[in-house]
């Protein structure tokens, strides 16, 4: 189980934007990694649309935002287009990354779980539970705390 203070497990996954995203190649940047169960379901649509709407706030704090589910790239592309999503969705079809982050829910789908990772690759916040709004707000709050801490140094 990945918990606050742990190094984030590395991964390499295909991206809805084309190509592959590798966590270790994002070194030096903050990352918000959010797992969600299924493209198009009501809660997952709400969470992704909230992320889309709040993306400038995340970026203001230097964060890259990545959504992960076990859906295919084709599903991600349709979902992104339908809801005009501007953040990257990653396809974890075999569930290996979901398992590494202890984000496997019912029926083997990814469960809703969010990780805020600092510039050094350390998990500074874990948000668990089903409420999409809580995940977005708590991740943003963690980034704000990181930014406040950086400004104090």
101-140 residue pLDDT tens? 999 987 878 899 999 999 999 999 999 988 989 999 999 9
Contacts for 19-22 with beta carbons within 8 Å, 24 or more apart? 21/66, 21/88, 21/90
Whether 85 contacts 45, CB under 8 Å: no
The pLDDT of residue 109 is 80
What are the angstrom distances between the C-alpha of 132 and each of 40, 71, 112?
Answer: 14, 18, 8
pTM of the predicted protein model: 0.93
The pLDDT of residue 118 is 96
Domains and CATH numbers, the chain: 12-148 (3.40.30.10)
Q: Please give the helix or strand (H or E) that residue 90 lies within, else none.
A: strand 88-91
The pLDDT of residue 151 is 54
Residue 44 known to be catalytic? yes
The pLDDT of residue 78 is 96
Catalytic residue among 13, 31, 32, 44: 44
Given a cut of 50, the residues of the chain with pLDDT beneath it are 152-153
């Amino acid at each position: 189980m990945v918990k606050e203070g742990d190094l984030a497990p590395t991964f390499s996954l295909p991206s809805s934007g084309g190509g592959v995203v590798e966590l270790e190649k994002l070194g030096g940047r903050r990352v918000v990694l959010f797992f969600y169960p299924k493209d198009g379901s009501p809660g997952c649509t709400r969470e992704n649309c909230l992320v889309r709407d709040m993306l400038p706030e995340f970026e203001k704090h230097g964060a890259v935002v990545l959504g992960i589910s076990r859906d295919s790239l084709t599903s991600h592309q349709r979902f992104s287009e339908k809801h005009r999503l501007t953040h990257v969705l990653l396809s974890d079809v075999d569930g290996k990354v979901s398992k590494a982050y202890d984000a496997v829910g019912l029926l083997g789908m990814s469960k809703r779980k969010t990780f805020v990772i600092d510039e050094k690759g350390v998990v500074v916040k874990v948000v668990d539970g089903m409420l999409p709004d809580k995940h977005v707000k708590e991740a943003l709050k963690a980034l704000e705390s990181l930014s406040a801490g950086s400004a104090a140094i």
